Amino acid sequence: MAIPTRSLAATAAAVFICAAGPGHAQVFDAGMPPGWQCTGNCGTAPEDGDITLAPGGGAQYGWVSTNGGAAGVRLPGIGVPGDSHSGSTLRSHLFTAQASDVLQFQFNYVTTDGGDFSDYAWVRLLHADGTQAALLATARTAPGGGAVPGFGMPAGAATLDPPYSNVEGITPTWSPLGGDSGECYVEPCGQTGWITADYAIAATGQYMLEFGVVNWVDPSADTGLAFDAISLDGVPLAPIPEPGRLGMLAAGVLVLELMRRWRRRGA
């Protein structure tokens, strides 16, 4: 029985749309991308208070905040577990990268706590099993106002532009900070502004990006990290297809082949 060309075309289109739709890499304009995993408090936001959109980013950016964060979140090697009161991490879906591919992203550190026990944030590249491949960038205020690279933290492997950043202003207004928005517990408070980070992948493999922030010692004076414009060699991070999605893609190819054969028989 012949299958109408229009029905075959519609079926093929539907299969390819379903297979490719979530395959678009991180696009914060549509909210949190499928496959990204949050611990604590994470979200997406448009331009909000003092925090503008990222250069080269979209109409929304991603963020993590210590406000509403989870207990036990910390960057390994920084202090002792008891010093980390609460925090949040956001991990991307798995993606494949080739050696020497350039990973690029923008980030902005926003804090209401610049004291001796200041909060901190980081960006890491992780292997598929969750172990660290590279610590890319850190942020933490110093008494003199410096915040990136993070005061008293390991050096990040990414190249930053600008290479050093202070926090600017004393009362950051930003919804993800919750009740601490517009407050400053101890100066210096504020934001670093958007910073560009570039990192050349060291070895071919499967990776995740992790964005994290921690409230140090006590629950007061919250801090957050905004990020956007994430790309690998100039294109968005493409998630590794799930087995079921690969099957759908193969079904679409089969439908198109059947359509071509039907056309040849009808010619």
Please tell me the predicted confidence (pLDDT) of residue 40.
Answer: 97
What DSSP line would sit under 11-54, residue for residue?
A: HHHHHHHHHHGGGS---GGGSSPTT-EEESEEEEESSBTTB-PP
CATH architecture of the domain covering 26-238: Sandwich (2.60)
Q: For residue range 195-245, list pLDDT tens digits in order.
A: 999 999 999 999 999 999 999 877 789 999 999 999 999 999 989 876 544
Q: For residue range 79-113, list pLDDT tens digits in order.
A: 765 677 889 999 999 999 999 999 999 999 999 99
| Proportion of the chain above pLDDT 70, given as a percent | 79
Find, among 266, 251, 263, the residue nearest to 18 by Cα: 251
Instruction: Give counts: helices (H), strands (E), the chain.
Output: 2, 15
Residue 124 bridge partners (DSSP): 135, 210
Please tell me the predicted confidence (pLDDT) of residue 170.
Answer: 83
Report how far residue 226's alpha carbon sits from residue 194's, in angstroms, rounded to the nearest whole number.
9
Residue 88 bridge partners (DSSP): 213
Domain ranges of the chain: 1-25+239-267, 26-238
Q: Among positive and negative, which fits the CA dihedral 58, 137, 120, 171? A: negative
Report how far residue 228's alpha carbon sits from residue 194's, in angstroms, rounded to the nearest whole number.
9
Higher pLDDT, residue 141 or 246: 141
Give residues with Cβ within 8 angstroms of 121, minimum separation 6: 64, 109, 138, 139, 140, 150, 211, 212, 213, 214, 223, 224, 225
pTM above 0.75, yes or no: yes
Q: For residue range 121-136, list pLDDT tens digits in order.
A: 999 999 999 999 999 9
**What average pLDDT is seen over the chain?**
84
Structure token pair of residue 81: 């577990």
Q: For residue range 12-27, list pLDDT tens digits in order.
A: 333 333 333 333 334 6
